[in-house]
Every structure is written in structure tokens, then in C-alpha cells.
Structure 1
Amino acid sequence: MGFAGKRIWIIGASAGIGAALARAFATKGARLILSARDEAMLAALAGECGGAQVLPLDLALPETLEGAVAALRRSEPLDAVICTAALYEPSRVAGIDPGKAAEMVRVNLLGTIEVARLCPPLLRDGGQLVLFGSVAGWVGLPGGQPYSATKAAVNNLAESLAAELAPRVDVRLVCPGFVRSRLTEKNRFAMPAIISSEEAASQVLRGLRGRRFEIHFPRRFTLAVKLLRLLPHALVQRLVRRLG
């Protein structure tokens, strides 16, 4: 898939990978619609991206997504919808703040489900629906809850959608490792193989041009985690307990 002239809607575009993706697509000549909660940040980003359309919304408020979808339904079909929006608060299970946990579930999981429910009719035949899961959803690690649990659910959701929506919609799942952003700034541990948001965006574009359902990076880290998942459960548990 080339990106010149393509209409691409990025949900969660105001910062991090979403903003880096917007800049990367803009350099390829894509026509962008940018959504997130912060309208001022979106407006500034749109100025960097050739006057992209700004469509503020909050995935915690389903009616705002419904309004955005209704507005886009009146225009030409989209070539891709990319949902990067997520909240993150590292915590062990015993220390979870119930309010923050509920907000993460509301945005990361229920918000993504609403994107998956409402957005496919906006896509042209063969258009891409791109959901962001995470390597954090592959293996349960100490301190990752409840973010990791929501991302494990998104990983599973994308697999189901790929079967349900084929062949009209090309569903893709993006599973990043550690990426420098305002979310990972909250971590208080060494993050192996961490990369910049710009490098992450480059990896996503490369993956969307290809045919693989799951786009994961950096591979020197993600392949090691995939190998970990193949080990016997008892051995995996011994290994991850050491991380705690």
C-alpha cells in the first residue's frame, strides 16, 4: 500500500506514536484526519502535516466517537483507520487505583471496541483497520496491570476482527515494545531495546506496506518475548518472578 493521496484517520494522534505516525504519513503525501482529546495539540500537529483535518474526540466518551463517525460518513471513504489511543498507569494488582483502572478499561479496551464496531463502514473495500495492542499483552509481567490486561484483550479482539471482517477490511494488529513517550516516562525500570516514536512510526509504515497481520517491533526484543511464550508455563513463571 502506497500512502500518497490516501485518506487516513489517526485516533490518538496528539502525542507519542500517533503524532509520529501523522508526521510520517504526511511526508508520504497522505491526507490525514487527526483525532484525540487535546484540540490545541491536534491543531499544532495539523499545521505540521499540510493542514490535516482536526476532529477532536475522547474514547472515554463514546458519543464523541459516534459524532466523528457521523461527520466522516458524509465524505469519501477512508483508506485506513488507525487507533493508537491508550492510557497507562503502571501498578501491581494490590496497588491498583480502581478509578484509574476503570478509565484504562474504558479507553484502551471499550474505546477500541467502539472503533472496531463503528469504523469499518467508513473504509473503502480493502481498507485497513489498524489496532494497537502491545507486547505487554503477550505475557503477564509484574507491575503491568491493568494496562497489560487491556492490551491482551485488544490483541485478541484484533484476531477475531481479522476473521470477521475479511476480505473487505484488512485488519492489522500493531504490538510495539518499549517506545519513548509520555506513557513510558512513568516507568521506573530499565526498558530493554527502547526506541523513539519516530522509529516506531517507521516500523508501522513498513508493516502496513506488507502483508503480515501482526506488526511488532523492535524485533530484537519482540522475538525474544515470542520465544518466552513457547516455554513451559512453570519455567516462564520462574523467569518473570525474577523481574518482580
Structure 2
Amino acid sequence: MSERAPSEQGQGQRIWIMGASDGIGAALARSWARRGARLILSARSGEKLNDLVRELGTAEALPCDVTDGDSLRDAAERITTGGPLDRAITLAAAYDPGKVMQVDPQMAAQIVTANLTGCFNFVRAAVPLLKPAGQLALTGSVAGYVGLPQGQIYSATKAGVINLAETLRAELAPAVDVRLISPGFVDTRLTQKNDFDMPAILQPDAAAEAIIRGLNGRGFEVHFPRRLTLAIKLLRALPYPLSLRLTRRLVR
């Protein structure tokens, strides 16, 4: 299967970033803005988006919510008037660490809706907006590779996003260049909720640069930092009797 190589570093590309109000999404917007991309930035927080747009000077703020199909459809209609997209990326996510039996069921449902159903909603809205062979990127997580202690519903939803991206790759290629982003630990408002050591943690700017390099390459998955992701991929590849014994040792 042949894949297109995205144009030089995003120069002049029209890119929709969902989850752009802070964290990796905001850092990604700044990095692409420096490269001359034409950005459409979305998140639930219109105030934060407007602050970022004022900072960048050239981007467009388009508040919407991945859990609200109507708001996504309205956003898609507005985007259509400006022409097709080169790329559409979603980083929107909800997170609440803890053991499965301790999580609040209502919070668990909200995480599923935001992370998995929201990703599906974004795909349905974004794909028709892409130019031929345009790029669609979904954000999973290394937390979705294998069930780890205190990953609870978040890890399960990210495993679902990984599966969804694989399915979309099979169904949509080569008309759509489907990619999967799998970050390790990144210093954001979500990971700041953790009360455990986070190996190889990155700053959002470094994560953004890794994502852009990966999306400008040809591989399906962009995963980083590799000293962490490769170790967890190895754990996933082990037989269950061994991998479960190892993960059990991580229970606090």
C-alpha cells in the first residue's frame, strides 16, 4: 500500500486540531503555526482558544465538544466553507486515575464518552472534510497497550482508540491517511493528577515536535519516548502468565 508524504512540515496546510486549548494540543498548534500552517483550533473552552489564537495571530478558534454531535456538525459546516483540510487531529481526552473498583461510575461513563465515543464522533465529522489522501490522526496512549494498575477506564478507552484507528486504517486507506499517536507521559493538567512516578516524562513542546516528525513520516503509529514505549510493547508481546505476573508487581 502506498502512502502520501505530507508536504514540507505543514507549510500552508489547513489543519484542524481538536483539544487545542492546552497541553499537547496547544503546543502542537504553536509548533505548526511556526511552520506556516493555517490552523483551526477546537476545544470546549472558548476562552482558552481565543487566548491561544491571539497569541498565534493567524489561527481560527472554533469551540466545539466531541461529546456533542450537533456542535461537531456545526463546526464541520463552518470548516467546509474554507475548503478541504490537509489534516485533522484529535487530542481531546478525559482522565481520572485510580483503581477500577474505586472509580465513580458516573465519572467512568464520562471518560468513555469523551475518549472513545468522542473520538468516533470526531472521525465522522472530520473525514468528509479531508482532501484526497488527507491525514486523520487519533490520539491513543501507551496506557492502551496493556492493562496496568491505576489505568482504570482511561486505559481501556485508549485501547479502544488504538483498535478504532487500526480499523479505520484498514477501511479508509488509501483515500485517507489514518495515523495513530501514542504518547507516553507528558507533563499536562491530566498527568498532574498522578501520584506515582512517571518515567521518561516529556514537556508538551517536546511531545509536539515528536508528533510532527512522526506525522510527516510514513509510519502508521507515532509513539514516544521510545525508551518507554518499546518497553511496554515488549510487555504486551509476552505470554499472559508472564506479563500478568509482571504487571501485578506494579500494584500499590
Q: Structure 1 vs Structure 2: percent identity of aligned residues?
A: 56
Equivalents in 2 of 1:118, 1:32: separation in Å? 17
SS in 1 for 2:175: coil
What is the Cα deviation at residue 124 of structure 1? 0.4
Amino acid at match of 1:210: G
The one of 20, 32, 35 equivalent to 1:28 is: 35
Alignment partner, residue 225 of structure 1: 232
The one of 83, 89, 93 equivalent to 1:86 is: 93
Amino acid at match of 2:192: E
Residue 70 of structure 1 pairs with residue 77 of structure 2: yes
| Deviations 1:57-97, CA, capped at 9 Å, x for gaps | 11122211111012112221000000000000012111111
Residue 203 of structure 1 pairs with residue 200 of structure 2: no
SS in 1 for 2:70: helix
Q: Would you say the 8 A contact 1:14–1:41 is kept in 2?
A: yes
Equivalents in 2 of 1:94, 1:228: separation in Å? 24
Residue 154 of structure 1 pairs with residue 158 of structure 2: no
Amino acid at match of 1:239: L
Residue 114 of structure 1 pairs with residue 103 of structure 2: no
Q: Would you say the 8 A contact 1:26–1:50 is kept in 2?
A: no
Q: Would you say the 8 A contact 2:67–2:121 is kept in 1?
A: no
Shifted more, 170-179 versus 45-54: the winner is: 45-54
| Deviations 1:147-200, CA, capped at 9 Å, x for gaps | 000000000000000111111110000000000000000000000110111100
Alignment partner, residue 172 of structure 1: 179
Equivalents in 2 of 1:219, 1:235: separation in Å? 22
The one of 135, 142, 145 equivalent to 1:138 is: 145
Equivalents in 1 of 2:143, 2:155: separation in Å? 5
Structure 1 stretches lacking a partner, 5+ long: none
What is the Cα deviation at residue 117 of structure 1? 1.6
Equivalents in 1 of 2:188, 2:246: separation in Å? 27
Equivalents in 1 of 2:112, 2:73: separation in Å? 19
Amino acid at match of 1:57: C
Amino acid at match of 1:76: G
SS in 2 for 1:146: helix
SS in 1 for 2:170: helix
Provide the TM-score with structure 1 as the length reference: 0.98
SS in 2 for 1:119: helix
Residue 60 of structure 1 pairs with residue 67 of structure 2: yes
Q: CA RMSD in A?
A: 0.8
Structure 2 stretches lacking a partner, 5+ long: 1-5
The one of 1, 4, 17 equivalent to 1:10 is: 17
Provide the TM-score with structure 2 as the length reference: 0.95
SS in 2 for 1:125: strand
SS in 1 for 2:136: strand
Alignment partner, residue 111 of structure 2: 104
Q: Would you say the 8 A contact 1:26–1:32 is kept in 2?
A: yes
